[in-house]
Structure 1
């Protein structure tokens, strides 16, 4: 029989998994997501999460507790009498009472090859570290941070110029198919679990604002990985004086380049920038308030001469 599922997720990344479970014929008893947040130009409108919007189109009950400290919220979860909870980028830590609040527990779709990159920002951190591969895992959740036993894994290669946005889009569809397979196995009582290894544990801390600035004193490979790991959001950046004003320029794509010089020095009229070892060439840039532009188009509107020093 199809499973009765509580789905828990918030961003766009979670939506394909919700859709895959519906398409597989499972019953979605309820959807839990983060509460609506201020949005709009002035922040006066409340914006529902992508999962919230998708659930409403499906006609599924939506709940948005701030947390599960309230006994009423915990009881409401149990009252759905679900077989299992599926969690994908929900954004809240789940207490043990919720983890054990369904017949088969909670299964999480996580975007890394655990135990590497446990935590909040596994996609960005994998690219920033120069990893050549990552993947999606379905694990049964326990009270630790991404420490539960693993049910299924799919490995995904990381291309040399792949950005976090591109990897995000790849993984969200891989993860949807993988969770659909996991729930089919659970339905058939054929889902086995393997404990995570004790070695190789690495944590993917949330991206902090103070680490988004590009440090051209680092080797070119590290600068390149930093740029693509933060693209498109929040975006790596440098500062440049334009018409007497210091302006922040986001770099949304780059490529390794030949050249050497003092770190932060523009080496030619094509915006090759020297790093601590080697050089990089931005491929997509964005001025504050402007739209992202390819390098040559950007330079037509904002020429940056050779020998310019970039901070």
Structure 2
């Protein structure tokens, strides 16, 4: 089939790759415009942009799809379907109806739970034990369209957002190719989303990344997992009268108790409002990630230390 692919981050690349491997004709790729990145802040194309350009697929990076020129360009591709994976722009109704079969979105949650921008992080931060990837026939509402296919994914007790991201990206790529095959055969069915259990995955705010050890250990553990590796939950340590921010990238629950923010034992175990968490992997500002034991070799935090 003639496919327009619309996506931006790493999460979308496996789906584009699988669509090409399946033999579909990707006539255009839409992505967010290049952004300044790296130490020199030079403009860098998105992962989808770079992948598509490397395979001689025309890449378009409009700032909006709401003007007549953008609609005309989109229609001129005469696509059978558009596939949307973490694109980053809302699609107006005229765009949604332009391909003869419509537009289909790969969403990283068990819809209608976690509609919106950050479903992977929100599922882990909420302590969900299971999520899914879903293929949705798009309509103008925010992730409200009927679901065509869905595949459940278990969230392990210590799985991070980065690890879940990779599992969902691969599972979603396979699911999308199967959905396109069913669409081509005229056998792709749809089911409206339930009105029960609707939740919204708001974009992660930077203020949410600071750890408050007055909260329960399970909340702290889920916050660390849900924000790892990016943007990274963090706490502060005090050294020579100065405070330094440390990212917590991996943790586990331990059966110890202490005052909130108190360092317990010989490792990097920290008391919480209820229970305690042991930091397993951390990262100092400007440094590479390291194990907690490696961190403590260069940064003394004896038992009884209270974090600021």
Report the TM-score range of the alignment, normalised by the length of the smaller protein. over 0.9
CA drift at 1:134:
0.5
CA offsets per residue over residues 165-203 of structure 1, 9 Å max, x none? 000000000000000000000000000000000000000
123, 127, 137: which one pairs with 2:134?
A: 137
User: Quick one: distance in 1 between partners of 2:91 and 2:57?
Assistant: 21
CA drift at 1:258:
1.7
SS of equivalent to 2:114: strand
User: Quick one: distance in 2 between partners of 1:29 and 1:161?
Assistant: 41
254, 266, 269: which one pairs with 2:266?
A: 269
Alignment-derived partner of residue 11 in structure 1: 9
Alignment-derived partner of residue 215 in structure 1: 212
Question: How many correspondences in the alignment?
Answer: 308
Please say if 1:283 is aligned against 2:292.
no
CA drift at 1:268:
1.5
CA drift at 1:40:
2.6
CA drift at 1:39:
1.6
- How big is the alpha-carbon RMSD for the aligned residues of Structure 1 and Structure 2? 0.7
CA drift at 1:269:
1.9
SS of equivalent to 1:116: coil
User: Quick one: distance in 1 between partners of 2:13 and 2:59?
Assistant: 14
Alignment-derived partner of residue 193 in structure 1: 190
Closer/same/farther in 2, CA of residues 297 and 127 from structure 1, 3 Å limit: same
CA drift at 1:71:
1.3
TM-score, with normalisation over the residues of structure 1? 0.98
CA offsets per residue over residues 9-66 of structure 1, 9 Å max, x none? 00000000000000001000100000000123132x1100000000011110000001
Alignment-derived partner of residue 29 in structure 1: 27
Q: Which runs of 4+ in 1 moved over 3 A?
A: none
SS of equivalent to 1:58: coil
Alignment-derived partner of residue 96 in structure 2: 99
TM-score, with normalisation over the residues of structure 2? 0.99
User: Quick one: distance in 2 between partners of 1:38 and 1:111?
Assistant: 27
Q: 5+ unaligned residues in a row in structure 1: which ranges? A: none
Alignment-derived partner of residue 182 in structure 1: 179
